[in-house]
Amino acid sequence: MKYSQRIQELPPDERPYEKCLSTGPENLTDSELLAVILRSGTRGRSSVQLADQILHLGRKEQGLLGIYHLSMEELMQIHGIGQVKAVQIKCIGELSKRIATREARKLLDFHSPDTIAAYYMERMRHEEQEQMICAMLNTKNQFLGDEVISRGTVNASLVSPRDLILAAFRHRAVYMILVHNHPSGNPEPSKDDLLFTKRVWEAGALVDIPLLDHIVIGDQQYFSFRQEGLLS
């Protein structure tokens, strides 16, 4: 396909919108899928060319995953991407995260670290800073909700056990589970993680709100303190 051509000049079966109608979205390339969302290109460049440039713009990752890491300002630096298209692109990333989270919610079982990690994976693995979330449960281990306790630097999350206990009180929780991410992608807990978890476990025991697990989210992998026998 000659992407230097205007979309209207391409054969109908090579235009992204028409190709989607005739063969289905699963047969479109990543660039073509994004081009359908963009709808139009700019002078001298088709929407597919524009989409291809966006997919190669990522610093941490390129392709569709790179969209998560691009800011509105970075997108708007591309000729042909204004505020409206930048908002559309960012919303695509957010929609994909929410779809993945909704699917994982169906299988969520707080006795199973696998399902907890799956539920938080897409929400947290793309974050460029550490984030600490406290998930709260009732007496039947049912989900009451969660709360972002801290957004930290690239390598540290600034939070105290007191913040977690107060969040648990607000939700009238009986149990709590701690979840945080490592932007490096490696979920192995640091020495600080180990010490902090011990402090939270002790604080929870004092107020009779046990810490059931601490799960560290990496890139498509996780570490569970409970699974590794580190909570006792």
Taking the C-alpha atoms of residue 165 and residue 103, their distance in angstroms, rounded to an integer, is 29
The residue range of the domain holding 82 is 7-100
Same domain, 59 and 162: no
Task: Check whether residue 64 and residue 94 sit in a common domain.
Answer: yes
Pair (83, 156) in one structural domain: no
Say if residue 122 is in the same domain as residue 194.
Answer: yes
Question: Final residue of a domain: which of 51, 74, 100?
Answer: 100
Q: Is the pLDDT of residue 232 over 80?
A: no
DSSP annotation of 111 reads T
* Separation CA 211–CA 201 (nearest Å): 5
Q: What is the mean pLDDT of residues 90-118?
A: 84
Over 80: is that where the pLDDT of 46 sits? yes
Q: Which residues contact 63 (CB under 8 A, 6 or more apart)?
A: 30, 55
Q: How many CA atoms lie within 13 A of 130 on its CB side?
A: 23
> Do 94 and 123 fall into the same domain?
no
Do 216 and 149 share a structural domain? yes
Residue 232 in domain: no
Residues listed for the chain? 232
Task: Give the end of a domain, one of 85, 100, 115.
Answer: 100
| Residues sharing a CB contact under 8 Å with residue 32, sequence separation 6 or more, in sequence order | 16, 19, 20, 48, 51
In this structure, the answer to whether residues 85 and 116 fall within a common structural domain is no
Percent of the residues in the chain that have a pLDDT greater than 70, as a whole number: 89
Q: pLDDT value at position 19?
A: 86
Query: Global pTM?
Result: 0.70
Distance, CA of 180 to CA of 69 (rounded, Å)? 18
What's residue 103's pLDDT?
76
- Domain count of the fold of the chain: 2
Average pLDDT of the chain is 85
Q: Evaluate whether residue 51 is within a structural domain.
A: yes
Are 191 and 167 found together in one domain?
yes
230, part of any domain: no
Q: How confident is the model at residue 92 (pLDDT cuts 50, 70, 90)?
A: confident
Give the pLDDT band of residue 115 (cuts 50, 70, 90).
very high
Take residue 216 and report the two structure tokens written for it: 């560290």
- Final residue before a domain boundary, out of 81, 100, 119: 100
